[in-house]
Chains A and B, each alone.
Chain A
Amino acid sequence: MNPLNKIIFLSAFLASGFLLILLSCALYNSYKPLWVILIFLLAPLPNILAQAIENSRDDFLTFNNNEGDRPSPFLEFCKSFTGFLIVSGIALPLTFYHTGLIELGSMVMSIIGGLIVYGDIIVFIWFFSENEEENDDFNF
């Protein structure tokens, strides 16, 4: 599968996720589920930040690696914060439905839409890093 097809399919999925969330707001005339978009867009961010920091830290030549191969506390905090954000994205529409602020259909549509958006971003990062490793033959 060439990269162009991947990008087209992924953008179509991303658009359908956004469409579901926007429909869940517009059909029921209550714009509270829009927060789900923000939460699921923020959810992959801690892991990206942690990876960038871990890659930029060169601990082999500076002799600062006195903890072996153990992941740093910041990395673990980012991981647990990712778990917190994913469950928050699902729990926010559930809370809104339970407290009577949005309807049942709005809840289901916003949860499915949010999960599509998040899965799409994760798959995009996965494809992207896979391509990077394939082309990494000559520049060490």
Chain B
Amino acid sequence: MDQSNHLFKFNASLFKLPKSAKLRAFGVYLAGALYAIGFWLIIDAAIFSKTVNASVVHVTFVDWIPFICSLLGMLIVNLIEKSNLFSDSNNSFLSNGTNPNAWAARVILFFGFSLLAGGLAGSFMVLILKFLLKHYSFPTLGMGVSNIVCNLCIMLSCIVLWLSQNIEDEYSYSLAL
């Protein structure tokens, strides 16, 4: 039975991404643009707190911690060599031993994704503990909201970069001479 390789009943190859080099390039540009939106949102919140802020709440180092977590997570997730992740010991043809890098790559990738998710969760926690529980109204609340949107944008940028790096090139002749 050739169906036994699939994990679910649906054939996962139906959901493959379209192959084109232009889509891949566009995804990479889009990832940089989303990252810039996130970056400038948190810079905007910091300058806003310094200049036109009429309240007593200010952006302190606590507001920057989720951003730093997301940044580290994005770095880790995108710096990993992806060919290590999918090399199983069962179906590797040439080396019949286990790949020693595979489990390390998976653990580091797990740390990266949990740092990304932790950044987003941390920004929600900053919004709730610092702004919502003390019943601040909107121009002050905007600093917390922009923190959340910043972390969302960095997470989206990471997802777009990951997806667009998995797009294969349409004309990928491997010139293995």
Contact = CB atoms under 8 A, between A and B. Distances in A.
Given A69-B169, A82-B29, A87 B47 contact: no
B44 interface: yes
Q: Which of A60, A86, A91, A101 gathers the greatest number of chain B CB atoms within 10 Å? A: A91
A81 B36 CA distance: 9
B67 interface: no
A83 interface: yes
A26 to B, nearest CB: 22
B51 A87 contact: no
B173 A68 contact: yes
A86 B40 CA distance: 12
B156 to A, nearest CB: 13
B171 A95 contact: no
Interface residues of B, number: 31
A83 B51 contact: no
A30 interface: no
Interface string B50-76: 111000000000000000000000000
Contact of B40 (A68, A76, A88): A88
Interface string A90-120: 0110110011110000000000000000000
Given A68-B172, A68-B173, A76-B165, A84 B33 contact: yes
A83 B43 contact: no
Nearest to A87: B36
Nearest to A83: B32
A84 to B, nearest CB: 4
A76 B30 CA distance: 12
Interface of A: 60, 63, 65-66, 68-71, 76, 79-88, 91-92, 94-95, 98-101
6 contacts: A80-B161, A83-B30, A83-B36, A88-B39, A99-B48, A100-B51
The 3 nearest A-B residue pairs measured at CB: A83-B32, A80-B32, A87-B36
Given A68-B169, A80-B28, A83-B36, 6 more contacts: A69-B171, A76-B165, A79-B28, A91-B36, A99-B50, A101-B51
